[in-house]
Structure 1
Amino acid sequence: MMNRRQTGISLVELMVGLTLGMLLVGVAVSIYLSGRQTSRVVDTVGRLEESARFAVETIEQDIRMTGFRGCNGVANSPVNTLNSSGSFNNRFDQTLFGYHGSGTTWSPALDSSISSLAQPPIAGTDVIAIKRPYDNGAALTAQMAGTTGAVTVDASAPFAQGDYVLVSDCEAQAVFQATQVTTTPTAGTLSHAAATVPTPGNASADLTHVFNTDASAYRVVTKTYYVAQSARNRAVKSLWSYSVPDYTGAGQPQEMVEGVDNLVLLYGEDTDSDQAANRYVTADNVGNWNNVVSVRVQLLMASVQNGVSPIAQTYNFNGASATSADRRIRSVFTSVITLRNRVM
């Protein structure tokens, strides 16, 4: 009887096969993980750019409109009847102002209305305050009865008690707080009596000029931008805005964009009256704020998620090199914004 030999694979062949299989699986896993990490980085960079674009466009819109005073332009400071008319949020002769953050202090010193916020500005970051019309305004529909008379606009105009109002024609302009707004089917009447209610109220009812139907009335706002700790994610910083008065009804301040690590502002000052910036300086070196015609905005953006970068990232911001203490992706965005109402 003939013996048949057993067929199959040897132990050596089995080990070689297993090794090759493991290598192939390892390569496949490596390719998958690499692709996943690449996709994560691309997605993070895209979100970073989107956030930066929104932040720059938001600041840009307000800076471009600063100083708008209707037909009268910026030639003269408005009559200001508000109580405490020289305070930070009530002052309208200066429509742009900044604070330069260096170390743990700001120059000039931060106004108490900003430094006392629940989420105050982070040390070493800049702060900018912008005063501008909140909306398109409304034409007056009747002449004032006198310099202390009520301002009359169309009934559809969105004015309410407590609003800060700029009324302007080609001869004069005035800022007051609406102490009472009366609306009929055909008209809205804005009273501006000398009072302390609503806060801050008016020191005087006299606008020193009788405005007629060639004038317009605008709600005006002081909007301050700064960087503070995020209220939604304590591990990151955000761009915030603080508006007085609060026309949105959403409460103030507002967290605008997460992932803003730093904000540096340089102000283009026109020193020879040719409507072009001769120098760019920090807020503490501006000679005359009314001569600022442009603002250079520099944002240092950081990814909200940590661990996206395989190593700590080295980056250049505001002329200096730095290495991050985490593994977030960072990128710098710069924009130069012209103040339209000062170069027209």
Structure 2
Amino acid sequence: MNRLAQGFSLVELLLALAIGLVLVLGVSQVLISSRLTHASQQAAIVLQDDARFALSKMTQDIRQAGMLGCLATAVIDNAPAAFDRAISWEASGNAKSVTLVTANIGDGAGKPDWTVLSDCKHTAQAYVGAAPAAVPGQIRFGIRQLTYTHEAGQLKISTPTAPAKAVLMDNVRAFDISFGVAATPASTVVVRYDSHPINQSLIRSVRIVMTLQDPSGRVKDQTYSVVAALRNRLG
């Protein structure tokens, strides 16, 4: 028989199969690893987007806390008691909440809890809900009271007109709030952060630290923090 026409031996076939199997397993491992990496990256992006949405909204409301129009609260007729406490907080059991009396800014969505009608010179009047139409020389300021609550792994929001807490975000493992306080009411410099400041007039900023978790466990818990300065002095 012509030796050039001979086939492979059994040993050669087994060796070729073994090499092929190793190559297939290696390629499969690379594909699986790549897929897992992509899934974890997507999960991290989702958590980041959720955190950006919630923290951006809270930051916007915090910055406008105490913005009750162009005149001081003492000048506003029929001002509700809430106007004297533009920011407050409460911890009960495993729930934490912060309440803001803030300008109805952004797209103005939602009915205001109060409306201040003012000429920005001498007079201002507070109305529950919407105010009468402004006359020439007057400006309307919509005011809302928003309560953000963290409980049972969820961040929720409520208002006096909608006391049922609406879920803003799920999978919130931890939520901490502290307040940057100044040394004196006349100072704007934050000297420390306090979770329960005694004197509200010393609050100059709010720091939020929030930890989100991926329910599928594809990525480790992600912690995000932001500091929002109050643009309106509390006194």
TM interval, shorter chain, is 0.7 to 0.9
What is the deviation of 1:53? Answer: 1.2
2:65 pairs with 1:92: no
Cα distance in 2, alignment partners of residues 189 and 10 from structure 1: 98
2:126 matched residue in structure 1: 175
Q: Which letter maps to 1:7?
A: Q
1:244 matched residue in structure 2: 160
1:52 matched residue in structure 2: 51
Cα distance in 2, alignment partners of residues 53 and 302 from structure 1: 14
What is the deviation of 1:130? Answer: 0.5
Q: Are residues 171 and 263 of structure 1, via their aligned partners in 2, closer, same or farther at CA, if it must alter by over 3 Å? A: farther
Q: Are residues 225 and 28 of structure 1, via their aligned partners in 2, closer, same or farther at CA, if it must alter by over 3 Å? A: same
Tell me the TM-score normalized by structure 1.
0.59
- Gap runs ≥5 in structure 2: none
1:336 matched residue in structure 2: 227
2:168 pairs with 1:256: yes
Structure (1/2) with the larger helix percentage: 2
Q: Which letter maps to 1:335?
A: V
What is the deviation of 1:135? Answer: 4.3
1:31 matched residue in structure 2: 30
What is the deviation of 1:159? Answer: 11
2:99 matched residue in structure 1: 129
2:217 pairs with 1:267: no
Work out whether residues 267 and 282 of structure 1, in 8 Å CA contact, stay in contact via their aligned partners in 2. Answer: yes
Instruction: Say which of 278, 291, 301 aligns to 2:212.
Output: 301
What is the deviation of 1:302? Answer: 1.5
2:143 matched residue in structure 1: 220
- For residues 242-292 of structure 1, the C-alpha deviation after alignment (integer angstroms, 9 at most, x for no partner) is 12335xxxx953222333222101111223121222321113xx1222331
- Gap runs ≥5 in structure 1: 106-122, 137-157, 182-187, 191-210, 230-236, 310-328
SS at match of 1:38: helix
Mean alpha-carbon deviation: is it higher for 4-13 or for 23-32? 4-13
Percent of pairs with identical residues: 21
Cα distance in 1, alignment partners of residues 58 and 212 from structure 2: 15
What is the deviation of 1:216? Answer: 2.5
SS at match of 1:244: coil
Cα distance in 2, alignment partners of residues 127 and 18 from structure 1: 64
SS at match of 2:190: coil
- For residues 136-177 of structure 1, the C-alpha deviation after alignment (integer angstroms, 9 at most, x for no partner) is 8xxxxxxxxxxxxxxxxxxxxx998x9532233343544332
Q: Which letter maps to 1:15?
A: L
What is the deviation of 1:50? Answer: 1.5
Work out whether residues 103 and 144 of structure 2, in 8 Å CA contact, stay in contact via their aligned partners in 1. Answer: yes
Q: Which letter maps to 1:98?
A: W
Cα distance in 2, alignment partners of residues 14 and 77 from structure 1: 95
What is the deviation of 1:97? Answer: 0.5
Q: Which letter maps to 1:30?
A: Q
Tell me the TM-score normalized by structure 2.
0.83
RMSD between aligned residues: 3.2
2:208 pairs with 1:292: no
What is the deviation of 1:19? Answer: 0.9
